[in-house]
Structure 1
């Protein structure tokens, strides 16, 4: 069960991928752009410029989420690119959540700071369990709060000023998603013997 679709409809993502490829973007360039843009979003969040941080975060996260479409459009899908993208996604998310925590700590918002770190640890666990599933030869992309949902929620929290409640929801839902994925993986591995 997932809140948002796994990806854009194939026709839409293919057109976007081809368009970005024609402009000279490669999948790895988009991944690095996502990191740089999210580093800027983290800085803006840390400085308390939450609306600007939200806009930058959503923009560069969207670019980063199109790297796969560009890889398909150009035939440049590689194991290295997949690993680079996964690592930079984790770093980007950690930077932005740390920027949020920095801002909240400066305003004495203690439970919100803990929520930011809870969202970060939950996010890492969701991705870690997926990686372990892949090592075990299983595909595990399902889940209540995948990266797409985390990006949308955090972006909305930054844009609307409801950062604390959004971070708390992310922390709870990310850990529930990690548990959900763990149970799904454990069941599949037990059934396989």
Structure 2
């Protein structure tokens, strides 16, 4: 779903926003750390019962995930460590966002399953690419898609729609599981050639 949008952003952002941030002296790793810091605020705002801030945090954390790559490409500073840092902080951010949802009252068991499959989606991409299989855009629910659903859920938390949020979390778990299967099939077919 977001694959096309990400490609569009990757074409436009480096030449506009990425260059502007680079000229301002902002580094890709600083943006990556900012995204992680924003995600770390998610459980805190839930604990403080300031749920109205959660959608803003999720939106800004997702934006940082797009901008760090845009600045890296605009500055011609894509590095293996930057890629590693981005991947690791994305996983930590995922854990923090799912933790915030569980703390906010979304079914904890469903949330644990959704988080587990989300992490396996990321692992399947990393392992596939380690085997030289192109994995970007493979699957129905990449990280950006899951973040959009979490963003919608964070808004619904304000209206105390717990059953709807439980259903959306189950949707994340299901889509992530399907994505793991799709990526596994992609790797299997690529390696069979």
Q: 2:176 aligns with which of 174, 177, 180?
A: 174
CA–CA separation in structure 2 for the residues paired with 1:15 and 1:40: 29
Structure 1 residue 45: deviation in Å?
3.1
Range with greater deviation from structure 2 (75-84 or 156-165): 156-165
CA–CA separation in structure 1 for the residues paired with 2:2 and 2:61: 21
Structure 1 residue 44: deviation in Å?
1.7
Range with greater deviation from structure 2 (79-88 or 131-140): 131-140
CA–CA separation in structure 1 for the residues paired with 2:166 and 2:45: 17
CA–CA separation in structure 2 for the residues paired with 1:164 and 1:76: 41
1:118 paired with 2:113, answer yes
On the 8 A contact 1:71/1:77 being kept in 2, the answer is yes
TM-score of the aligned structures, taking structure 2 as reference length: 0.88
- Give SS of 2:69's match: helix
CA–CA separation in structure 1 for the residues paired with 2:172 and 2:15: 30
- Give SS of 2:4's match: coil
Structure 1 residue 164: deviation in Å?
2.1
- Give SS of 1:37's match: helix
- Give SS of 1:66's match: helix
Aligned to 2:125: 130
Q: 2:143 aligns with which of 143, 147, 153?
A: 147
Cα RMSD over matched residues? 1.7
Aligned to 1:156: 152
Deviations 1:65-99 (A, max 9, x none): 21111001111110000000000000001011012
- Give SS of 1:138's match: coil
Structure 1 residue 11: deviation in Å?
2.1
Pairing 1:56-75 to 2, within 5 Å after superposition: 56-75=57-76
CA–CA separation in structure 2 for the residues paired with 1:118 and 1:73: 37
Pairing 1:1-193 to 2, within 5 Å after superposition: 2=1, 4-5=3-4, 7-9=6-8, 10-104=11-105, 112-141=107-136, 142-161=138-157, 162-191=164-193
On the 8 A contact 2:14/2:74 being kept in 1, the answer is no
Deviations 1:113-133 (A, max 9, x none): 112111111111111010111
TM-score of the aligned structures, taking structure 1 as reference length: 0.88
Task: Give the direction of change, closer, same or farther, for the CA distance of 1:78–1:32 in structure 2 (3 Å limit).
Answer: same
